[in-house]
A and B are shown apart, each in its own frame.
Chain A
Amino acid sequence: MAQGINLLPEISDKDTRTEVYKKKVNVIAITSLLAIALIFMGLFAYQLFLQTSRSRVEGESKEKQEQILTQQTKEISQRTLVDKVTEIDKLLGEAVPTARAVATLSDIAKKSGDVLVVKLSVRSDGDVIFSGTTGSTTSIQKLFRNLIDTGILSTFANVSLESLSKEEDQPYNFTINLDFLPRGLKNK
């Protein structure tokens, strides 16, 4: 029986694997390059889009800016107005109502009997020095009671008798220190 001769060269498994491997490497390399190229082009296109958008936005901004500049005087007036009103509001809110302090203390002195106000000083931080004379200690008692009266508790604080003296045939001299608490002139 005659035996046939295989004319094709014998390809080993190793050679086959190598070929497949080479092919894979080439495909991966080309795919990567294509991917990079695609990303690059995408980025380039996006950059172009951004630049175009920016130019458009800049154009619109310029247009609006010109429209605003035509109303410049109105803007300056509005800014000045708001600025001033804010400042007025702040000043009115922080001020010490000294008229109220003088009125309240004067009323309390009147209510307390024969108390005569000799010296009354109200400072911007609310510190009050109240000096006076009176013929009796009962009036001083009354004065103190009126000063720390619950009705005006929110008006005065830290009421303290600084000095009390008396000379023969002379009325009592007293000095009271206290804090005047209210602030602001908006609730008159």
Chain B
Amino acid sequence: MNFTKFNLASLKTFVVPTLILITILLIVPFAFVPLLNNVKETNKKLQSEQERLDSLANKLKILNALDESDINDKLAKTEQVLPVGKSLASLVVGIQNLAVGNKLSVESITLNPGSVATDSATTTNDNSGASASDNSRVREQSNNILVLELSLRGTVSSVQKFLSQIQTAKRLMFTNEVSLDSSEESRNYAIKLFLDTPFKPVAKSEGDFVSQPLPVLSEKDLETLNLVDRFINVTNIKITEVQTGVKDPFSGN
């Protein structure tokens, strides 16, 4: 092989294309691809920001259209139907009044305030007056429902009327179980009733709360609102609060 015949000068002509090729090969992975990724990333972020802006604009439009006093008015109505808390005092008195109004004698309304309260807080409301009881029972379920057990005595028609009024009471109450028992041949029944009384604490918001879409009341919701507005309010009883920590709460001091 004769290397002397190999002409180095011929290589000169490929210097420029070779350099260009090297440049391209270096530019593509080290500058072009990162830039492309950057563009993709920025585009993605821009899209999500744009979506958020649209959502915010839409929400603002809805918010501006809403009447705050109307919302508060409706909210006050729903509070009577589904309160944020248990509101036990007015609930028990309301149920008792309703039962008595339907010629039912109330033997006991037992409740167990649940794991939060102590046993001493367990109360029994009977027709001979309110007294503390250890054998009271109310099952408080995890899904914000307080269950009250009622022992009543009366006729079938009285129970019928009572249940009917319970179903149309402004504070929602649902009969979980009802049993009428007559050991003797009389029209007077021993009635045991488990009432589910739901309540709904204010929900906590999580995440990007501001951009979350604002829910609006549908036609169905408004119908429900109108329906419950016609319900009878049995728990609008003002219970006077007494000072806690006093030795004799009936002393009047």
Contacts and interface: CB of A to CB of B under 8 A. Distances in A.
Interface of A: 22, 25-26, 28-30, 32-33, 36, 39-40, 43-44, 46-47, 50-51, 53-54, 57-58, 60-61, 64-65, 67-69, 71, 73-89, 91-92, 95-99, 102-103, 106, 116-124, 133, 185-186, 188
B135 interface: no
A36 B21 CA distance: 11
B72 A77 contact: yes
Nearest to B196: A124
User: How would you classify the secondary structure of chain A's contact residues: helix, strand, loop or mixed?
Assistant: helix
User: How would you classify the secondary structure of chain B's contact residues: helix, strand, loop or mixed?
Assistant: helix
Interface of B: 13-14, 16-17, 20-21, 23-24, 27-28, 31-32, 35-36, 38-39, 42-43, 45-46, 49-50, 52-53, 56-57, 59-60, 63-64, 66, 68, 71-72, 74-75, 78-79, 81-82, 156-157, 159-160, 163-164, 166-168, 172, 174-182, 185, 196, 198, 200, 202-203, 205, 210-211, 214-217, 220-221, 224-225, 227-228
B78 A84 contact: yes
Nearest to B23: A33
Contacts of B68: 73-74, 77
B221 A86 contact: yes
Given A80-B75, A117-B182, A186-B227, A122 B175 contact: yes
Contacts of B75: 77, 80-81, 84
Top 3 closest pairs, chain A to chain B, by CB = A99-B163, A29-B17, A121-B179
A123 B196 CA distance: 12
A98 B194 CA distance: 11
A124 B173 CA distance: 13
Given A43-B35, A74-B63, A88 B172 contact: yes
B221 A40 contact: no
A79 B178 contact: no
Contact of B160 (A61, A99, A119): A99
B185 A74 contact: no
